[in-house]
Structure 1
Amino acid sequence: MIRKTLKEIAEMIKVENDISSFADLQIAGASIDTRKIEKGQLFIPFKGQNSDGHRFVEDAIKKGAGAALWQKDVPNPPLHLPILVVEDTLIGLQELSRSYRNELNVKVVGITGSNGKTTTKDMTTNLLAQRYKVQKTEGNYNNHMGLPLTILSLEETTEIAVLEMGMSSKGEIDFLTRLARPEVVIITNIGEAHLQDLGSKEAIAEAKLEIINGLTDDGLIIYLGDEPLLHNKLEAYISSATKKTFGRTRLNDIYPLDIIQEDSGSTYKINLSDVEFFLPVLGTHNVLNALSAMMAAIHYNVPFEDIKAGLAKVRLTNMRMEILQGKHGEKIINDAYNASPTSTQASIELLANLPGYKNKILVLGDMLELGPDEEKYHFDIGKSICGENIDAVFTFGRLGAFIADGAKQVLPAEKVFAFDDKEPLINELKNHVDDETIVLVKASRSIKLEDVVSGLQ
Structure 2
Amino acid sequence: LELASHCGDVTVTGLAIDSRLVEPGDLFVAIAGQRVDGHDYISSAIARGAVAVVSERPISQDIPHVIASDATAACGHVARLVRAEFSGKVIGITGSAGKTTAKSFLAAICSGAGTTVATEGNQNNELGVPLTLAKLNSAAAFAVVEMGAAQMGDIAYLKSMASPQVVILLNAREAHVERFGSLEAIVAAKGEILDNLSEHDTAILNADEPELAAWRARAQPAQVLTFGRSSAADIRLVSSQDRGFDGSVMNVEMCGT
Same fold, TM exceeding 0.5? yes
1:27 equivalent in alignment to 2:8: no
- Once the two structures are TM-superposed, the CA of residue 213 in structure 1 deviates from its matched residue by 2.2
Secondary structure at the aligned position of 1:237 is classed as helix
Q: Which amino acid aligns with 2:3?
A: E
Contact 2:203 / 2:219 at 8 angstroms: preserved in 1?
Answer: no
Deviation string, structure 1 residues 31-67 (Cα, Å, up to 9, x no partner):
1111122122111111234432111112211222112
1:62 equivalent in alignment to 2:44: no
Contact 2:165 / 2:202 at 8 angstroms: preserved in 1?
Answer: yes
- Once the two structures are TM-superposed, the CA of residue 132 in structure 1 deviates from its matched residue by 2.1
Q: Which amino acid aligns with 1:96?
A: V
Q: Aligned ranges for residues 58-457 of structure 1 at < 5 Å?
A: 58-71=43-56, 74=57, 76-78=58-60, 80-213=62-195, 215-229=197-211, 231-237=212-218, 239-263=220-244, 264-272=246-254
CA distance in 2: counterparts of 1:215 and 1:110, whole angstroms: 12
Change (3 A) 1:80 1:266: closer
CA distance in 1: counterparts of 2:196 and 2:61, whole angstroms: 38
Contact 2:99 / 2:170 at 8 angstroms: preserved in 1?
Answer: yes
Change (3 A) 1:216 1:122: farther
Q: What residue is the counterpart of 2:4 in the other structure?
A: 17
TM-score (norm 2): 0.92
Change (3 A) 1:43 1:89: same
Q: What residue is the counterpart of 2:28 in the other structure?
A: 43
Change (3 A) 1:111 1:56: same
Q: What residue is the counterpart of 1:400 in the other structure?
A: none
Q: Give the paired residue count.
A: 256
- Once the two structures are TM-superposed, the CA of residue 274 in structure 1 deviates from its matched residue by 11
Secondary structure at the aligned position of 1:189 is classed as coil
- Once the two structures are TM-superposed, the CA of residue 207 in structure 1 deviates from its matched residue by 0.5
Change (3 A) 1:238 1:35: closer
CA distance in 2: counterparts of 1:258 and 1:103, whole angstroms: 42
- Once the two structures are TM-superposed, the CA of residue 224 in structure 1 deviates from its matched residue by 0.8
Contact 1:108 / 1:162 at 8 angstroms: preserved in 2?
Answer: yes
- Once the two structures are TM-superposed, the CA of residue 111 in structure 1 deviates from its matched residue by 0.4
Higher relative contact order (CA 8 A, sep 6+): 2
Q: Which amino acid aligns with 1:126?
A: A
Change (3 A) 1:274 1:197: closer
Secondary structure at the aligned position of 1:108 is classed as strand
Alignment gaps of 5+ in structure 1: 1-13, 276-457
CA distance in 2: counterparts of 1:66 and 1:214, whole angstroms: 36
- Once the two structures are TM-superposed, the CA of residue 272 in structure 1 deviates from its matched residue by 2.5
- Once the two structures are TM-superposed, the CA of residue 225 in structure 1 deviates from its matched residue by 0.9
Deviation string, structure 1 residues 78-121 (Cα, Å, up to 9, x no partner):
25233222332222211111112112112111000011101111
Change (3 A) 1:214 1:101: farther
Change (3 A) 1:99 1:25: closer
Q: Which amino acid aligns with 1:248?
A: R
Change (3 A) 1:247 1:238: closer
Change (3 A) 1:119 1:29: same
TM-score (norm 1): 0.53
Contact 2:119 / 2:145 at 8 angstroms: preserved in 1?
Answer: yes
- Once the two structures are TM-superposed, the CA of residue 270 in structure 1 deviates from its matched residue by 1.4
Q: Which amino acid aligns with 2:15?
A: A
Deviation string, structure 1 residues 355-386 (Cα, Å, up to 9, x no partner):
xxxxxxxxxxxxxxxxxxxxxxxxxxxxxxxx
Contact 2:30 / 2:42 at 8 angstroms: preserved in 1?
Answer: yes
Deviation string, structure 1 residues 134-160 (Cα, Å, up to 9, x no partner):
111112221101101110111222111
Secondary structure at the aligned position of 2:186 is classed as helix
- Once the two structures are TM-superposed, the CA of residue 175 in structure 1 deviates from its matched residue by 0.3
CA distance in 1: counterparts of 2:216 and 2:63, whole angstroms: 56
Secondary structure at the aligned position of 1:162 is classed as strand
Q: Which amino acid aligns with 2:27?
A: L
Secondary structure at the aligned position of 1:228 is classed as coil
- Once the two structures are TM-superposed, the CA of residue 194 in structure 1 deviates from its matched residue by 1.5
Secondary structure at the aligned position of 2:3 is classed as coil
Secondary structure at the aligned position of 2:36 is classed as coil
Higher radius of gyration, 1 or 2: 1
Moved over 6 A (4+): none
